[in-house]
Homo-oligomer: A and B are copies of this chain.
Amino acid sequence: MFDPVEALKEFIRHPSVSADPAFKAGMAGARDHIAGLLGRLGFKVEVVPTPLHPVILAEREGPESWPHVIIYGHYDVQPADPLNLWTSPAFEPEVRRERLYGRGAADNKGPLLVHVAAVARLLERRPDLPLRITFMIEGEEEMGSPSFPAFLDAHAPRLKRADFVLLSDTGSPRPDQIVITCGLRGLVLCDVEVTGPRTDLHSGLHGGVLRNPIQAVAELCASLHDAEGRVNVPGFYDDVLPVEAWEREQLARLGQSEEQYREFLGIPAFHPHKGFTPFEATRFLPTLEFNGIGGGYQGEGTKTVIPSKAFVKLSCRLVPNQKPEKIRELLYRTIAERMPKDVTYRIVDQHSGTPYVVVPPDRPNTPRDQSPVLARAFRAADSAIAEVFGKAPLYLREGGSVPIIADIKRVLGLDSVMMGLFLPEDNLHAPDESFHLGVMAKGIAASERILEGVAAGGR
């Protein structure tokens, strides 16, 4: 048995920044560390090369009659900049009060080690546990997992025979209130680039005869929402399913006040969203957001140009039952119809599109078309979390999009049980990232019970 906190410290000491080639040694170190841990637990470890960073596949094999869980995680981390804002160095782990500080502590090294430690304890106690376990640990999550879909395709014949995926790469509101994430929004991304004159023009000599591409972009953007804040793309809401009563009921138990949320965002007021609380709006409604806009002179002072080009970066978050392909088509058609004819434009598709994900837990009034093993995993998670953390979990959809969860569903046909172990205070992707050691200890105990519960029933 290893000490999970010491293992996490060692994991953090390997600076595994996937996006920066300067951290090649850190990537290899982090990979070796986690591969070594799993090897010592008796797993058959394979380091599968990809065009960029290898995926670790570690298997505990067994007969077909044993349930089979895939545990997902990632060993790469975000860059640690700005370094000067860290209280202790990003890659020198330090415990202060109930937290362990360091880049990757929460995203995702700590939560990943929660499941490794749970497996270690469980197998020490029950070496003959009838459960097949495959760790699937990638090294490109913080870059958008570019190699992961091809990896899944290549290993699909082997992996798709598993029963479900277990992971902790989502959030919970408080240390005593764990969330099981049962849905994620989908995503469609594109840039719209508008060209007016062939070159930047003097706005005095030529202003007044042509449409400024900034104006064309602004007019397009302004047309994409109505006064109530709804997306003004014909057909956009056609396939949106109504929210189920149990989902609103779960969310109402989140226990956050609108006023606190408004203060956290630092805005004078919420933007209208008729019939939805702010907490509902971010989870249950689709959106169209502007992630970036640019054109012309952006420096200090002034430069009186009419720019040749301007652009906007758009993204749509999708909810059940919106399809990325259809939304993209509606959006592109709307842009084409509204774009004035005295400019030219092109759309740069930034992403093949991520579908929404729903994993309805095994609860009253939810669809029960899931496999017996998955249904048992949800029941085990429910009772394990209730017992260990002292409160039943909440079942919530999250507003974000995790492409790998959609990929796993699409390629392998597997649903994911997502036990949220991040807290808002963990500072993901920011200086002074940390992981709550109490959550870590309880997470290990909960994961151990979940896995034991899954094993208990056979297939």
What residues on B are CB-neighbors of A207 within 8 Å?
A: 282, 287, 289, 317, 399
**Residues on B with beta carbons closer than 8 Å to the beta carbon of A398:** 204-205
Contact mask A215-231 → B, CB, 8 Å, 1/0? 10111111101000100
Size class of the A contact interface (CB-based, 8 Å): 35 or more
A343 contacts chain B at the CB level, 8 A cutoff: yes
User: Do A268 and B222 have beta carbons less than 8 Å apart?
Assistant: no
Considering only residues 261-317 of chain A, those with a C-beta below 8 Å from chain B are: 261, 265-271, 273, 278, 281-282, 285-287, 289-298, 301-307, 310, 312-313, 315, 317
Q: Contact check, A282 vs B206: say whether CB atoms are below 8 A apart.
A: yes
- With known contacts A212-B290, A302-B291, A399-B207, A268–B344 Cβ distance under 8 A: yes
Residue in B199, B271, B302 whose CB lies within 8 Å of A266: B199
**Given A209-B271, A270-B209, A285-B208, is A296 in contact with B293 using a C-beta cutoff of 8 Å?**
yes
Beta-carbon nearest neighbor of A197 in chain B: B265
Contacts of A239 in B (CB 8 A): none
A208 touches B295 (CB 8 A): no
B298→A292 contact, CB < 8 A: yes
Q: Which residues of B contact A198 (CB under 8 A)?
A: 265-267
Residues in B whose Cβ lies below 8 Å from that of A261: 209
Q: Closest residue of chain B to A185, judged by CB? A: B204
Q: Which of A196, A205, A261 has the most CB of B within 10 A?
A: A205
Query: A342 on the interface (CB 8 Å rule)?
Result: yes
Q: Does A401 contact B (CB under 8 A)?
A: yes
- Which residues of chain B are near A401, meaning CB under 8 Å? 204, 304
Complexed CA–CA distance, A208 and B199 (Å)? 37
Instruction: Judge whether B341 and A268 touch: CB under 8 Å.
Output: yes
| Interface residue? A203 (CB, 8 A) | yes
Known contacts A197-B267, A204-B399, A211-B271; A296/B291 CB under 8 A: yes
| Alpha-carbon gap, A310 to B290, bound state (A) | 11
Contact of A203 among B222, B289, B344 (CB under 8 A): B289
Whether A202 is near chain B, meaning CB under 8 Å from some CB there, is: yes
Q: Cβ of A189 < 8 Å from any Cβ of B?
A: yes
A380 within 8 A of partner (CB): no
- Which residues on B sit within 8 Å (CB–CB) of A268? 341-344
A370 interface contact, C-beta 8 A: no
Q: Report yes or no: A399 in contact with B287, Cβ–Cβ below 8 A.
A: no
A306 touching B294, Cβ below 8 Å = no
Shortest beta-carbon distance from A262 to chain B in Å: 9
A281 touches B313 (CB 8 A): no
CA separation between A399 and B304, bound complex, in Å? 12
Complex contact B293–A209 (CB within 8 A) = no
Pick the residue among B208, B220, B298 that contacts A282 (CB under 8 A).
B208
Query: What's the Cα separation between A258 and B202 when bound, in Å?
Result: 18
A29 CB-CB contact with B under 8 Å: no
A287 to B271, CA, bound (A): 32
User: Is A105 an interface residue when CB atoms closer than 8 A count as contact?
Assistant: no
- A187 an interface residue at 8 Å Cβ cutoff? yes
Given A291-B203, A293-B294, A303-B292, also A317-B208 (CB < 8 A): yes
Q: Say if the beta carbon of A256 comes within 8 Å of chain B.
A: no
Please determine whether A295 and B296 come into contact, CB atoms closer than 8 angstroms. Answer: no
A400 at the interface (CB under 8 A from B): yes
B301 touches A350 (CB 8 A): yes
Complex contact A290–B343 (CB within 8 A): no
Can you name 11 A-B residue pairings with CB atoms under 8 Å? A189-B302, A198-B267, A205-B400, A208-B287, A208-B317, A215-B290, A270-B342, A290-B295, A292-B296, A293-B295, A293-B298
Task: Given contact pairs A204-B399, A210-B267, A218-B218, enumerate 12 new A-B contacts (beta carbons under 8 Å).
Answer: A197-B265, A197-B266, A197-B267, A198-B266, A203-B317, A205-B400, A211-B229, A222-B222, A268-B342, A270-B342, A291-B307, A302-B351
